[in-house]
Structure 1
């Protein structure tokens, strides 16, 4: 799996600066295909809430590259031209199921997001560059006080990839699943009983600003916890939150070697990292420098970007994603051979991604997408099937 290049899938190009999640894409099929043009998505409301639910399917039509939305029948509608300032988008909402009920809609071959909101429709806008996604780290965002969340998916001729994501925020809980061609079902994303409140409580109890990630409504309703990348942006977390760990890593590998084997299916492809002059240089087996990294800051680590940029190539990207996972999970000091894929050693340092730590600890199967490269070692909350019969989205209790 790690040998495949990953594609960053945002619901639309030109969206607000969301971190997004990484999904695995199979090789495009040349056959006209076992996968039909649309498949059913069964949405079940087990939230226990009496609020009306609204569902949205927004993304990019893979056949045309157009941005738009799909209605309940799976019919694609292109967005109209936007403006500057942004103009209201057409109402793409689908009435969701009432508490205790289910509703089946159809999803087309999209790279996109399935949003759901409670009690209120989401406010989407269009700019000249496309759709503006909600950006609730901004206090003036019109969706700031709405309880909502989203899943990301790709459906193409090679099958379905559907995730439960916490890369941008941890909010209204849900699980995803897929029914395979043989009739069996696989699911992920479900919290343990009481897991939602446990995550919030653990963040509030964690010193150093982590409690500031939690956002509440005036009536006391917990709306979400922002990712630490947005915590830096909003000032909830200090910019120095990871400096101690990052400095220790740079110090260690000034006198020892970090070995990265980025592809699980290519065990002989190794790169060797050493810090010299404040820069970590990676060499191949021949001793040639293949890429170099400046010492990252917390934003680069939490966002897996900037100084830890991961282009979709065969060398720097795979090394960077491995470093990013090691920094977030704080395994770089305890294991000089990366990636470390055993979760037993994750998040053990006092300086770590506590947001990712507490979310993983409360997932029923231990899997989550708590940062962009949480798929290193296959710890991500993702389901996939090459010939899906049906997909599932289950709204779970906020407890």
Structure 2
């Protein structure tokens, strides 16, 4: 159950790749911003109210070379040394974070990667011959299993910065992200409503069908996180058939009617038409030519937006699959045959849905989150972007 930076199973980093390529997929073009500096200041503010020391890590892929590595507090990139099999310990990449009630500014370089933060203990990173092994807390023997931690994701390149909060893999220590623009204004996202942290866990505990089993605690009962439903399937916390009823109803509906997908908001004339034949949904273009087909998905395909709903970075199958994945997770495919949805009013209304995503979005102050890999379909993601960022913000929020 090792997870390295290049594995597709690392759904959170898939979101980063989607962000980095979203302009291509949408058909839009962004002018190069040569003014973007080599590093950007990141102000970390600890409003958590917790007394434990905080440790911060900047890890990812250096965009200029493709090397995997980490950055120190000054934003200097360090390539990881060669790993081994079995995995070998990684260099200590931790940066001391600010104490409760204080702030600290570090610099982050042009990476596509993650900013981890942990409370009380340093994270354990190891290296294989394939790269960095990420924490995989769905594995009960993972050395980070009982550490309270979380991460944000960012891409900084010559076109600007994309910075998001994420719950694709898990919901854990609360935080918000933000950017300062050239005119001095700021934009932020990822903040929970007052009481939203406890509200989410209480709501998950009250959801029948195994959803409460996603919650992980320390041996002393301290709540650490809730795993994503994909990992819930992998660990047996959720039944493998949890989405089957909805999937079956969708397949029956589109055996006798047509699902229309318009994947590009700026290209309303580009449409694909889906009809089910047996266990396969075939999509045709406006000329009636089959352009791609999908085997009937299972719950893992829906929650992970992969396997039978794989989404390559192309201009046909990938955009259709992203739209299907969002419709399945939000349970809107039965009520809207024209996807994606124009608004969120009908999201998560079916009794069979991604209740993890539903409950996360319900607790976000702005309603936005990355609760599954393609939660950005329709712009419902917790993402901030600026072409000329002057400063980034990471705020560690209270556990209430």
Query: Displacement of 1:87 after TM fit?
Result: 0.5
Q: Matched residues in 2 for 1:276 and 1:198: separation? A: 43
Residue deviations 1:200-229 (CA, integer Å, cap 9, x gap): 111111000000000011222110000000
Pairing partner for 1:19 from 11, 15, 18: 11
1:148-159 equivalences in 2 (<5 Å): 148-159=149-160
Q: Which residue of 1 aligns with 2:141?
A: 140
* Residues 300 and 100 of structure 1: CA distance in aligned 2, closer, same or farther (over 3 Å): same
- Given that 1:15 and 1:132 are in contact with CA atoms closer than 8 Å, whether structure 2 keeps it comes out as no
Q: Which residue of 2 aligns with 1:39?
A: 40
Q: Matched residues in 2 for 1:29 and 1:196: separation? A: 37
Q: Secondary structure at the match of 2:11?
A: coil
- Given that 2:33 and 2:388 are in contact with CA atoms closer than 8 Å, whether structure 1 keeps it comes out as no
Q: Secondary structure at the match of 1:254?
A: helix
Q: Which residue of 1 aligns with 2:211?
A: 210
Q: Which residue of 1 aligns with 2:77?
A: 76
* Residues 66 and 128 of structure 1: CA distance in aligned 2, closer, same or farther (over 3 Å): same
- Given that 1:54 and 1:93 are in contact with CA atoms closer than 8 Å, whether structure 2 keeps it comes out as yes
Q: Matched residues in 2 for 1:325 and 1:359: separation? A: 15
Q: Which residue of 1 aligns with 2:238?
A: 237
Q: Secondary structure at the match of 1:183?
A: coil
Residue deviations 1:151-193 (CA, integer Å, cap 9, x gap): 0100000000000000000000100000001110000000001
Q: Matched residues in 1 for 2:162 and 2:224: separation? A: 27
- Given that 1:15 and 1:131 are in contact with CA atoms closer than 8 Å, whether structure 2 keeps it comes out as no
TM-score, length of structure 2 as denominator length = 0.95
What RMSD, in angstroms, separates the aligned Cα atoms of the two structures?
1.4
Gaps of 5+ in 2: none
Query: Displacement of 1:14 after TM fit?
Result: 3.5
Q: Which residue of 1 aligns with 2:332?
A: 331
* Residues 386 and 30 of structure 1: CA distance in aligned 2, closer, same or farther (over 3 Å): closer
Q: Matched residues in 2 for 1:131 and 1:171: separation? A: 22
* Residues 53 and 84 of structure 1: CA distance in aligned 2, closer, same or farther (over 3 Å): same
Q: Which residue of 1 aligns with 2:126?
A: 125
Q: Matched residues in 1 for 2:165 and 2:95: separation? A: 20
Q: List structure 1 runs of 4+ shifted beyond 4 angstroms.
A: 26-32
Query: Displacement of 1:13 after TM fit?
Result: 3.4
TM-score, length of structure 1 as denominator length = 0.95
Q: Matched residues in 2 for 1:360 and 1:210: separation? A: 16
Q: Which residue of 1 aligns with 2:117?
A: 116
Query: Displacement of 1:330 after TM fit?
Result: 0.2
How many residues of Structure 1 are paired with residues of Structure 2 in the alignment? 389
- Given that 1:270 and 1:285 are in contact with CA atoms closer than 8 Å, whether structure 2 keeps it comes out as yes
1:193-272 equivalences in 2 (<5 Å): 193-272=194-273
Query: Displacement of 1:63 after TM fit?
Result: 1.0
Gaps of 5+ in 1: 1-10
Residue deviations 1:330-376 (CA, integer Å, cap 9, x gap): 00000000001311100000000000000000000000000000000
- Given that 1:62 and 1:109 are in contact with CA atoms closer than 8 Å, whether structure 2 keeps it comes out as yes
Query: Displacement of 1:64 after TM fit?
Result: 1.1
